[in-house]
């Protein structure tokens, strides 16, 4: 690894500190170097705050003049909640900029780099670009499609069962895996379940990490006819974060008003064969600034999400257990496929130990039926 790449790696590590906190903005870390020494570091901590390069400039002060910038994303060139970072870098006297990737935001899209070069700053683009795209994959998906990055998560036995034939699923996996799920919730803008999960488990869908750390995601429930109980746990903690009920034109108007009075936001869609259609729902969530969605549904929700092609990646926890049973609940319900050639394939697979369990993660292969993941989100091992 070159010196420049090692400094970009520091910038990526800084950016990652704000994982789950910057939506709908990207995670950005920056390092400023003068005469071979780091004089300033910074990252974008949350939406509305200073961007990473501005925080690095503040720390560097006058030492930034004549220095080099190392950053994982192109500096912005437009006025948003803050002034253009490209202008601040020019004013500070930065002489070189090493940037991992262009900003896919149409308002930027190379304009920040052009502005730096026009001011005489030498720009090197593409250092650790794959790592940079991976870090901000949710932002990239949202800014280019208007929809959140969708991760389908499940905890399964080795034979692919979510629960026993009696519906017992507590707990399939061990404590370390469950703790990791709460970290996933902490990093996600929203979490989605179906009415069946609410009726069966009555979950709070909050983030529970040691020391009460963590951020609760927006909670989304699919309920075609608004049959959810007003006493469900998700309404008990609704003041901590938003609850969204996605329903259809099959719901009764009185029920819609009742749940709105409880503090939930009710989204109404034209039913698709009696169900809530995923694509319009994702577009609505995207308009709310939700860039990442974690699906923790049952077999039928999983089947619908995969069938409609809205899933970008999967995270499956496998426990070293065999449940068995023809009537045990499987990972994916629905009608299934007739031919293996129609199977939805994964790529960019990773496998990690989680205590006694295994976590298998991967992206829906672009050539798979219904796959919608944006090409720039792939990690590159075609």
What amino acid positions are annotated as catalytic residues? Answer: 53
Sheet holding 96-99, edge to edge: 37-43, 29-34, 68-71, 96-99, 122-125
**CA distances, 250 to each of 159, 223, 228 (Å):** 37, 10, 14
Separation of alpha carbons 256 and 245, rounded Å: 9
Distance separating alpha carbons of residues 128 and 229, to the nearest angstrom: 49
The full DSSP string for 164-183 is: -TT---TTSS-HHHHHHHHH
293 and 188 Cβ atoms separated by less than 8 Å = yes
185: its two tokens = 């919730």
Burial 335-345 (b: 16+ CB within 10 A, else e): eeeeeeeeebe
Within 13 Å of residue 240, how many CA atoms lie on the same side as its CB?
A: 14
């Amino acid at each position: 690894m070159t010196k420049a790449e090692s400094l970009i790696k520091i910038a990526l590590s800084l950016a990652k500190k704000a994982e789950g906190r910057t939506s709908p903005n990207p995670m950005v870390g920056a390092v400023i170097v003068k005469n071979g020494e780091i004089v300033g570091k910074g990252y974008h901590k949350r939406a509305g705050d200073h961007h990473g390069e501005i925080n690095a400039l503040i720390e560097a002060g006058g030492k930034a003049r004549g220095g080099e910038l190392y950053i994982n994303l192109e500096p912005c060139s437009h006025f948003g909640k803050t002034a253009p970072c490209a202008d601040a870098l020019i004013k500070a006297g930065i002489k070189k900029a090493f940037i991992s990737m262009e900003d896919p935001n149409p308002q930027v899209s190379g304009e920040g780099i052009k502005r730096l070069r026009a001011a005489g700053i030498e720009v090197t683009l593409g250092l650790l670009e794959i790592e940079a795209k991976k870090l901000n994959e949710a932002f990239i998906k949202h800014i280019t499609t208007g929809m959140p990055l969708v991760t389908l998560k499940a905890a399964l036995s080795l034979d692919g069962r979510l629960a026993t034939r009696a519906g017992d699923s507590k707990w399939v996996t061990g404590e370390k895996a469950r703790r990791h799920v709460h970290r996933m919730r902490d990093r996600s803008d929203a979490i989605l379940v179906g009415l069946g999960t609410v009726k069966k488990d009555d979950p709070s869908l909050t983030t529970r990490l040691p020391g009460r750390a963590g951020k609760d995601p927006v909670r989304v429930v699919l309920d075609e006819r608004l049959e959810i109980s007003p006493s469900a746990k998700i309404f008990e903690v609704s003041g901590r974060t938003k609850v969204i009920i996605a329903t259809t034109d099959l719901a009764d108007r009185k029920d819609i008003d009742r749940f709105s009075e409880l503090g939930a936001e009710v989204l109404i869609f034209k039913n698709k064969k009696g169900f809530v259609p995923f694509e319009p729902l994702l577009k609505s969530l995207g308009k709310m600034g939700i860039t990442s969605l974690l699906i923790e549904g049952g077999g039928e929700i999983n089947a619908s999400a995969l069938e409609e092609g809205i899933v970008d990646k999967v995270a499956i926890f496998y426990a070293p257990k065999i449940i068995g049973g023809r009537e045990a609940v499987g990972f994916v319900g629905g009608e299934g496929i007739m031919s293996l050639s129609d199977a939805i394939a994964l790529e960019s697979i990773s496998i990690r130990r989680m205590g006694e369990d295994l976590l298998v993660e991967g992206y829906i292969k672009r050539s798979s039926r219904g796959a919608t993941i944006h090409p720039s989100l792939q990690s590159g091992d075609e």
